[in-house]
Amino acid sequence: MKISFKTTGPSQGRSGRFKRRSRSLSQSSTDSYSSGSYSGSSSDEDDVSPREKVQYNSKNFKDFCVRNIKQAAFGRREIEIAEQEMPGLMLLRKRAEGEKPLKGAKIIGCTHITAQAAVLIETLHALGANVRWSACNIYSTQNEVAAALAEAGFPIFAWRGETEDDFWWCIERCILSDDWQPNMILDDGGDATHMMLKKCPETFKLIKGIVEESVTGVHRLYQLSKSNKLSVPAMNVNDSVTKVKFDNLYCCRESILDALKRTTDIMFGGKQVVVIGYGEVGKGCCAALKGLGAIVYITEIDPICALQACMDGFRVVKLDEVVRIADVIITASGNKNVVTRQHLDRMKNGCIVCNMGHSNTEIDVDSLRTPDLTWEKVRSQVDHIIWPDGKRILLLAQGRLVNWSCSTVPSFVVSITATTQALALIELFNAPQGRYKKDVYLLPKKLDEYVASLHLPAFDAHLTELTDEQAKYIGLNKAGPFKPNYYRY
């Protein structure tokens, strides 16, 4: 794809026993238990459902549903902080704002609504798009940020702690709006795509493209494609190189320590830690833990990943071999029930158990909800599970994503993901008819490289340019792409 954005310099602006809580049955909406960004000023003291309120912003706009529009000023400050750490997305906004590459795009968005997502929403608007937005997760919305977006005139339908009915109502409000027919979908988990296909099948056929960024959502898209139910092209940005490396490897390398420190005050030196899975997430976790002096063990099913772990200096074991000595057990496999009740019964007193995998299926938490065990809340997102003999383990975030639930996800990482989403939307919206069929595609390599290049100025990094002779010798265009699609970074 030819990228024709006008180039400028780098952007300068820049409680008690466990109680079961109702939650959406959507897989994506329950992937994390609470906010993936700081939400200390979010307030749930108002028990009146936002759906029962009639609220207006300062310009008499009311096409939104948030917890409290009066929190908008706080949300705007959080958005401004996020902008400072999202250099790539801000630079894309600066370069492309004049061309309006998304002029005419009407985008349904269904993602986490955080300060970082707000930067993306406002960038898409600056590039010419009209948007309507709901949350992909019932716990991750920052109420003050949703208020700030509503104050800015965006149709936002989201608040922290939605019920299952609220969750689907919000998505429906985005899709079914008078005098507004969507032509693009930006999804995180596939729920907006699912509802539109179910509720508005004829309108769905008119969609120019879907951009999906989650494992769950991408899996759903491939299922639709396989069953010949996908009638529009879709872009899988979850597996783009920049997204995989930053969202999985580099982000997890930082956020695993953040989450464990905040919840347990643990000191890592000398602790025996088991990491289940040595993919990109596992690699990031292990690098951080090793750097602080932890003794790290790996469990793996893949011989290539296992060999990598060995070469990186880790012991590869079966969980049964080390479960009795582990101080911390971290799941990062993306699979189901890799930690079972049998494993939990054999853990030592005080063992910390948490999940860094893609959903809440890795630890068999349901097996712990039995009459013989006692749940005792220690602090937010931390529970003691107490056995009859007095042994207790610490379970974090009830087995949900611990970095989204118990720490903050760095804005710089979200900048990578959000820039990838924006470029995918631009590509699908502007693609000539016939370039993309009714199938699922990966982000073109050229755009993947462009995402990286937009973030290099933040590091004052200077790329070397190929000479004509060098480019000819290795058979590359001097402007890239620089690696074939089969290259493994």
Which residues fall in the annotated binding site for NAD(+)?
Answer: 279-284, 300, 403
Helix then strand then coil, in percent of the chain rounded to 5, is: 40, 15, 45
φ and ψ at residue 357, rounded to 5 degrees: -75, -175
Cβ atoms of 411 and 85 within 8 Å: the answer is yes
Q: Name the token pair of 285.
A: 């976790």
Q: Residues near 436 by Cβ (< 8 Å), separated by ≥ 6? A: 209, 233, 428
Q: Name the token pair of 45.
A: 């003291």
Can you tell me the distance from the alpha carbon of 61 to that of 360, in angstroms, rounded to the nearest whole number? 38
∠382-388-389 over CA atoms, to 5°?
A: 100
Can you tell me the distance from the alpha carbon of 279 to that of 103, in angstroms, rounded to the nearest whole number? 39
Q: Which long-range contacts (CB under 8 A, 24 or more apart) does 164-169 make?
A: 164/22, 164/23, 164/24, 164/25, 164/26, 164/138, 166/49, 166/51, 166/138, 167/24, 167/26, 167/29, 167/135, 167/138, 167/191, 168/24, 168/26, 168/195, 169/51
* Radius of gyration of the chain, Cα coordinates, nearest whole angstrom: 23
Can you tell me the distance from the alpha carbon of 359 to that of 196, in angstroms, rounded to the nearest whole number? 24
DSSP notation for 366-435: GGG-STTSEEEEEETTEEEEE-TTS-EEEEEGGGSBHHHHHS---HHHHHHHHHHHHHHHHHHHHPPTTS
- For residue 363, the cross-strand partners are 339
Give the annotated binding-site residues for substrate: 114, 188, 213, 243, 247
- 173, 243, 355, 421, 440 from 214: Cα distances, Å: 22, 10, 17, 11, 13
Nearest to 321 by CA among 350, 294, 346: 346
